[in-house]
Structure 1
Amino acid sequence: MRRTRDGRPGNRRRPVQVSIAAKLGTLVVVSVFITTGLVLVALRTKTELRFITVFSVIASMLITQFVAHSLTSPLDEMNTVARSISHGDYTRRVSGVGRRDELGDLASTINRMAEDLEAVDRNRKELVANVSHELRTPIAALRAVLENVVDGVSAADPETMRTALKQTERLGRLVETLLDLSRLDNGVIPLKARRFEVWPYLSGVLKEANLASAQRRGTGSGGQHTRTDVHLHLDVSPPELTAHADAERLHQVVANLIDNAVKHSPPHGRVTVRARRGLQPESLDLEVMDEGPGIPEQERHRVFERFNRGRAPSPHGPGSDGGTGLGLAIARWAVDLHGGRIGVAESSRGCRIRVTLPGAPRTSA
């Protein structure tokens, strides 16, 4: 049974193939028939044998040249495509995939190899961009704490050092996830889910977001928002709410949603992080809301795509940077890893992104 490219069985019949050996055998048979025919003509018409020999050689050479060209022309094209692939150009393809012989199979194999290499190269670039995006927040927060100590703004007391240590530990955990991120597309990244209290957890995420924003404003670094006029508000009900999830992955979700909301907030705007209990045990319904221009309905299905930076105008100036377009893509990836859902919800003002996490899996009795 024939299988499709993704390995599933198909119903189409495989076209009858004519091997190159059969073509060469046909060439020999045709040459013999031509020579025999010319000899019979010579015997009946009393034509000299030397003329018959010359005609036979010319006819055989023409047929051989035609067959040889049909065999060597695709090989030359394959050689050109293979050379381009070796130089890092994975966009070239072989055009002879319609042939029903070994060369057609080879052309299909080379095209599939080029597609796979192109996908690997694209995933590698996206991996580097994702990692750079995720490392920036703890590095900025750690730098803010240390610069405050050096400049005498805050004392090197145990609380300040604990904040710096927390960021250092988070940085180390992010570095350790490099191997996990490289296996993202294979779906084999393990989740380290645990039960935790939502209020202190989200409060820490908001505090880190404020530290990172203040640091970027002080250094004038580009590529991210430098907003310190936006107020972050946390709304958790009930206060003792608990959830069951991978805290590190959830941090990626909340931090990127907050970063996106702050970037698109108006001057002195308000970003609200709201958490509620879900329908399942220790499940979580999370919303991040801002007061910006919102997301047009026709763009909502694309906001979670990688490198999508949207078309909505920024409420705080046309020259502001829209970011790399990776934050929401990373948030969706982390939510999907939990088996949850993320999407843009209807809102009368601004943008409201809703996240639903399923909570602890049920155990059979």
Structure 2
Amino acid sequence: MGPVTISIKTKLGTLVVVSVFITTGLLLVALRTETELRFITVFSVIATLLLTQFVAHGLTAPLDEMNTVAKGISHGDYTRRVRGAGRRDELGDLAETINRMADDLEAVDRHRKELVANVSHELRTPIAALRAVLENVVDGVSAADPETMRTALAQTERLGRLVETLLDLSRLDNGVVPLRRRPFEVWPYLSGVLKEASLAASQRAVGSGSRPHTRTDVHLHLDVSPPELTAHADVERLHQVVANLVDNAVKHSPPHGRVTVRARRGSSPGSLDLEVVDEGPGIPPSERHKVFERFNRGSVPAPHGPGSDGGTGLGLAIARWAVDLHGGRIGVAESARGCRILVTLPGIPRPRG
């Protein structure tokens, strides 16, 4: 059994009852000992005041501390916490709520600072490269030939991809993306997603003048069973999931590696179980709970294969958001080799009631 919760109302009622008992007891003592009533009155008032002061201090001291912590939070100090969170009354619940609010605000402030720092870093690299190319052309160091223009175009496209990803992140935070579920055939749909991924990689490789901005040596393999498998989901959001998972798997694959997208029927009508498996270094168990955090790139040495541009660290966060929007699950599963991401979509929503 847990500790008993005593409300403030009960404590105040107990104070009144105890004060009445003290006064009554002193009156009985006065009647039996023939003590003057004025002395009994003085003793009764003193005893009641001392008891009231003791109880009032226990009630007001936490409120003073909460006021101090709340003022600190309003001025941006999220490090202070209320010490009375262990109390078993309304003040304890209030202290716990304030501490939880301070934790959330501290996390939001930390994420905001990380967002500004990481976005600044991500934007600085392609902007600096694009500026260097254009300065060389303006100063006459290099000619505005197709090779130079392809290099500038590659950096511009990288900026565009980053801005598009940040817009997806903004829609994610604002919750303005609707969910439009419909039935679809899994094999042709996933085949189209993989073809788009391969075509985009080839175009980036050509546009970059064979510079190492992308991977074109990784083989993409699709495994759908049964071949006529159908599912029920938002195909636009699912495209974000598969494209980001495949892009992440390709970046972490070894030279001439293999990325497998596997689809199976789920446990309920219209549900779908998806796996994306690569042959890269894998994810250590200590890092698996952080792989879907924003701007997380892991701590695996040399995580990106040759020809990878490193990415923005937002793809897996967007994939998790899209899966959560469906009410599904996404996580890192055990694998004998490489990394295995498992996605489960619930299928046709059950009618309420």
The partner residue of 1:178 within 146, 170, 176 is 170
Q: Residues 277 and 284 of structure 1 are in contact (CA less than 8 Å); yes or no, is this contact kept in structure 2?
A: yes
Would you say 1:204 and 2:196 are equivalent positions? yes
CA contact (8 A) 1:340 1:356 kept: yes
Residue 141 of structure 2 corresponds to none
Counterpart residue identity of residue 74, structure 2: S
For the residue of structure 1 that corresponds to 2:34, the secondary structure is helix
Q: CA deviation at 1:108?
A: 0.7
Partner of 1:287: 276
The aligned residue for residue 81 of structure 1 is: 69
2:98 aligned with 1:98, yes or no? Answer: no
| Cα offset, 1:231, TM superposition | 2.0
Cα deviations across residues 286-331 of structure 1 (Å, max 9, x unaligned)?
Answer: 53423x32335x45853645367656443679xx999886543443
Q: Kindly indicate whether the alpha-carbon contact (under 8 Å) linking 2:169 and 2:318 is maintained by their aligned counterparts in 1.
A: no
Corresponding residue of 1:222: none
Deviates further, 169-178 or 190-199: 169-178
State how far apart, in whole Å, the 2-side matches of 1:348 and 1:129 are: 34
Instruction: Report what 2:34 is aligned to.
Output: 43
Give the corresponding residue for 1:252. 240
TM-score (norm. length: structure 1): 0.57
Alignment of 1:34-73 (within 5 A): 36=27, 39-40=30-31, 43=34, 58-73=46-61
Aligned to 1:306: 293
- For residues 210-262 of structure 1, the C-alpha deviation after alignment (integer angstroms, 9 at most, x for no partner) is 7779999999xxxxxx7646623333479999986545433433444345435
User: Contact (CA 8 Å) 2:333, 2:342: kept in 1 or not?
Assistant: yes
Contact 2:287–2:298, Cα closer than 8 Å, also in 1: no
CA distance in 1 between partners of 2:41 and 2:346 (Å)? 85
Which consecutive residues of structure 1, in runs of 5 or more, have no partner in the other structure? 1-10, 220-225
**Cα distance change on mapping 1:34 and 1:133 into 2, 3 Å:** same
Where do 1:232-243 residues align within 5 Å? 232-236=218-222
- CA deviation map 1:271-300 (0-9, x unaligned): 43444664477968453423x32335x458
Identical aligned residues as a percent: 41
TM-score of the superposition, structure 2-length normalised? 0.59
Conserved 8 A contact 2:293-2:317: yes
Partner Cα separation in structure 1 for residue 169 and residue 130 of structure 2: 24
Partner of 2:146 in structure 1?
153
TM-aligned CA deviation for residue 111 of structure 1 = 1.9
Q: Is the 8 A contact 2:292 2:316 kept in 1?
A: yes
Q: Distance in 2 between the 1:359 and 1:64 partners? A: 62
Aligned residues: 324
Distance 1:193 1:34 in 2: 75
Shift of 1:175: 2.5
What is the CA distance between 1:198 and its match in structure 2? 3.5
Cα deviation, 1:157-177, whole Å, max 9, x if unaligned, reads xxxx9xx89x96995696366
1:197 touches 1:243 (CA, 8 Å); kept in 2? no
Q: CA deviation at 1:115?
A: 1.8
Match of 1:29 in 2: 20
- Deviation (angstroms), 1:107: 3.2
Whether the 8 Å CA contact 1:42–1:52 is kept in 2: the answer is: no
When the two chains are superposed, the root-mean-square deviation of aligned CA atoms in Å is 6.0
Q: Tell me if the contact between 1:340 and 1:355 (Cα under 8 Å) persists in the aligned partners.
A: yes
Shift of 1:132: 9.7
Cα deviation for residue 95 of structure 1 reads 1.5
Q: Does structure 2 retain, via aligned residues, the 8 Å contact 1:261–1:271?
A: no
Deviates more, 1:66-75 or 1:341-350: 341-350
What residue number does 1:122 align with? Answer: 107
Residues 300-339 of structure 1 mapped to structure 2, 5 A cutoff: 302=289, 304-306=291-293, 310=298, 312-314=300-302, 327-338=315-326
Partner of 1:111: 96
